[in-house]
Amino acid sequence: MRVLIVGAAGFAGRYLARELLARGHDVVGGTRSGGSDEAPAARPGGGEWPDALPRIPLLACDVRSPEQIASALDATAPDAVLLLAGLASPPEANADPAAAFEVHVLGTVHVLAAMARSAPRARALIVTSSEVYGRVAARDLPIREDAPLRPEAMYAASKAGADLAAAAFGASRGLDVVRLRPFNHTGPGQRPTFVCPDFASQIAAIVAGRRPPQMEVGNLDVRRDFSDVRDVVRGYALALERGRPGEAYNLCSGAPTAIREILDVLCDLAGVRPEIRAAPGRTRGGEIQTLYGSFEKAAAELGWRPELPLRTTLGDVLDRALEEARTPAADDRRE
């Protein structure tokens, strides 16, 4: 199958490209620039990071540009398009709602409208977020796909808009659209604006002697559903191959993990016991206390379930941070 990944240079996009190639698919990447400048930095001491973007053709495909999208579709004639492009960080999107809606909602509309014109038989996989569900009562956990979309933040609202637009295109234009709602996922190569690599980077700096044994944290008591990015992109691949048109699928671990537990595991793996300091700027107002999902539908229809234990994932994230901390001058351009 010939697959166009829009957002191939991002964190999950790199892993997805490798997963699809391993499964025998013909993969083309769409990026903002279309060039290799969006590839990650080389590994200190030579070679590439394990999450480096594979050597695949790259085309300019900024979702804000209908012309670039149309050109990419004409050039690739894909059997499927996976839309991963977006503002990955909720705080970034919440700070700039106009950009979030332009990229997530209008970007989705641009891609699906172009597919309706020039690739009407291709499958569209639209990746949104578990954030679309918003605040869910404890009695309604774990979250299932039939839960109402009640976003409370701008990032969540823009992702919900993309989700609804995708469903509408499928229903009204007859497109083969599958929606994916991943919960929190992490792994080596994720930016330190996210909690797991943030903690790992702070700990690695302590181990390297570049930081006093003190850590700044936010609310450690909230509980979220964490998976490994490598499990999540395997779910994307299975949805590509087996997903039912018009359906939405949660990809999650099925269990809540307190942020405090993540910190404890990383400290234990590194053998450090730093002083923990709450930093007001790291706490989000109105934060939902506990959110976790059900992957029963993905298991039944896609044959997917998470496989990598969280401790293994966190160990890999920490190893990456430790290697980077030993070479602080390395050029880090992670997406």
Model confidence pLDDT, tens digit, residues 287-311: 788 999 999 999 999 999 999 999 9
Statement: residue 282 has pLDDT above 80: no
Of the given ranges (83-97, 166-180, 213-227, 244-258), which has the lowest mean pLDDT? 83-97
Question: Is 197 a member of any domain?
Answer: no
Given a contact cutoff of 8 angstroms between Cβ atoms, the answer to whether 264 and 318 are in contact is: no
CA–CA distance, 307 with 291 (Å, rounded to integer)? 20
Tens of pLDDT, residue by residue over 207-226, are: 999 999 999 999 999 999 99
Q: What does each C-alpha distance from 315 to 229, 263, 321, 322 come to in angstroms?
A: 14, 12, 10, 10
Question: Is 96 a member of any domain?
Answer: yes
Percent of the chain with pLDDT over 90: 85
Question: Is 216 a member of any domain?
Answer: no
| Per-residue model confidence (pLDDT) at position 15 | 97
Tens of pLDDT, residue by residue over 317-326, are: 999 999 999 8
CA–CA distance, 281 with 158 (Å, rounded to integer)? 24
pTM, two decimals, is 0.94
What CATH number does residue 53 fall under? Answer: 3.40.50.720
| Per-residue model confidence (pLDDT) at position 287 | 75
Statement: residue 184 has pLDDT above 60: yes
Question: Is 135 a member of any domain?
Answer: yes
Domain residue limits at 47: 2-186+227-252+292-309
User: Domain count of the chain?
Assistant: 1
Statement: residue 37 has pLDDT above 70: no
Mean pLDDT computed over 142-155: 96
Question: Is 172 a member of any domain?
Answer: yes
Given a contact cutoff of 8 angstroms between Cβ atoms, the answer to whether 183 and 228 are in contact is: no
